[in-house]
Structures are given as structure tokens and as C-alpha cells.
Amino acid sequence: MRYAGPIIDAHHHLWDLSLGRHRWLDEGDPTLASMGDISYMRHDYLPADFRADVGAHNIVGSVHIEAVWDRARDAEEETIWLDGLDKAHGVAARYIAYAPLTSPDAPALLAAQAAHPRVAGVRETIRWHPDPARAWAERGLVDRADFRAGVAALGRHDLALELLMNPHQAAEVARLAHDFPNQLILINHCCSPSERDAAGMARWRDGLALLAAQSNVAIKISNFGAFSPDRSLPVLRETVMGCIEAFGAARAMFGTDYPVARRNMGYGAMVEAFAEIIAALSAGEQRALFHDNAMQFYRFEG
């Protein structure tokens, strides 16, 4: 039976371009050039816009993920801005913030973020790729002593660590999880299976297995339509079920990555496709994937 219960969207973004804090959205900015044409995102995206995309779907809460606030400024600014937004309908009820874990100031920056009750963790981008044009971070970042010192500081505040990565980082993230067994690590966007040839998919599946072997790692099945131009249900199923088969229904959760994901799928289409793909699972497993796991990992109130 298809799921018809409450949903927590575990991954979306908001921004107000009049603030001038999202430079990566400026025309001509090279920061995220590998994303291609992002003109479709160059407009404000606020709680009312998110609700308009949600429509009649039963989204009862959502998690805001840091949206690359100007890195030259104090990242707590974004958290303070979020605190001032309308929280009706549970939009951005919890945040994954940003703090530079390699910074010598990381302990103080993390303490400032942790002082905001809605902050449930921080995100770092560690996405390295052998093709420099597709690399968003340096190779081996997770193994650096200063990064690991930041993770240790993060753990002192009981905050989750979210990682934007791809399969090339799986072994080092698995090592990190092993060495910090009490640190919850949440992998964004299905671990990015963007290389769809046989070798690339094998690397992805092997990477998922390495990560899932660590009990403190979970995965977000967010923007699952981003990795192939073929968005037919069988192709989407391969991505979604690959994550669930590796991590189980207790360590995976639904997210949209809106409005970034608009290029690939409509909001409602994502909800409906996910519901169709997991329809053969038990009612409890479906609810876990759509709602309960996010409620637990992001410490939503019951």
C-alpha cells in the first residue's frame, strides 16, 4: 500500500537574494560552475515559495540545509536569519548550519551555532573528484588533523555532521565514522551516483557498502532524480533502492533538495515517485523513510 502519512522533507534550502549573501547565485560567479546553468534559481526562495511547491502534500516539517552563505562572513548570520522566518507549517523547523571544521576557531564557531536550539548539525563539502572541473574540495580533506579536530569539537555539542560527497570519498568517510563512533554522519544526495557507467555504479555501490557498515552513518535520499537524464521510474528506483538496500529503512530518509532539484523534477513528482518506489515495503518502513527517521536524526519534538 502506498504511503499517505506525514512527511518531513529532510533537505531543502531558502534564500533572500536582497541580502547579498548567496554570491554563488550571482550571474558569472564561478564558485559552483560545475552545476551548469543555475539561472532558474536566481530568485528568492522563502517559506511561502516552499509551501507553494509542496502544494497539497502532507509535509509536516522540514530541515533547512546551509545554502553556501557568503563564506567571507560569519556563518551564524544565516542561522540568525532563519530564526526570524515564519515557522508556520514546520518549514525550516530544524537547520543544518555551516562552520569551517578546519578553522582554528571551529570550537567557538560551533558553540555559537549550537546555542541556537533549531541547529541540529553542520555540513561540510568534501566532494573531491579526479576531474578537477568536478572537484569542490581538496583530496583527503577528511583525513586531515585539523578537520578531525573540528569533528571532535562538533561531537562535544552532540551535533550531526552532514557531508556533501561522492563515492570517491567513501573509504575516508568510513574511517572517520569508525574513529568517531559516537558521531552521527549524514550523507547527502544518495552519495551522488552521477557516473552511471558500469564502473561508476560499481564504485557507488561499493562506497555505500563501506559507509553502511558503520552504524553511525545514515543517508539522505535527496534529489534522487539528479544523476541521470533518464528519470523513468526504473532508473529512479535503482538509485533509491540502492540506498535503502545498503542502509536499511532505519538509516535512510527522504529529502527533496528544493529549489535546486527543480531542474530535475517537480516537488510533487518527487514525492509521488518515492512513494511508488517504496510501496512494497512495510507500512512502518515507509513511515520511517518519509518521516520517523528524520524526526529522530534531527531531534524534532514528538
pLDDT band at 302 (very low <50, low <70, confident <90, very high): low
pLDDT band at 244 (very low <50, low <70, confident <90, very high): very high
Domains and CATH numbers, the chain: 7-297 (3.20.20.140)
Cis peptide before 259 (omega within 30 of 0): yes
Q: Which residues contact 167 (CB under 8 A, 6 or more apart)?
A: 191, 192, 193, 195, 200, 203, 204, 206, 207, 208
Task: Tell me what the mean pLDDT of segment 156-163 comes to.
Answer: 97
- Cβ–Cβ under 8 Å, residues 137 and 102: no
pLDDT band at 264 (very low <50, low <70, confident <90, very high): very high
Of the chain, the percentage scoring pLDDT greater than 90 comes to 89
Beta bridge partners of 162: 123, 186
Mean pLDDT of the chain: 95
Task: Tell me what the mean pLDDT of segment 14-40 comes to.
Answer: 88
pTM of the predicted structure, to 2 decimals: 0.96
What is the H or E stretch that residue 256 is in? none
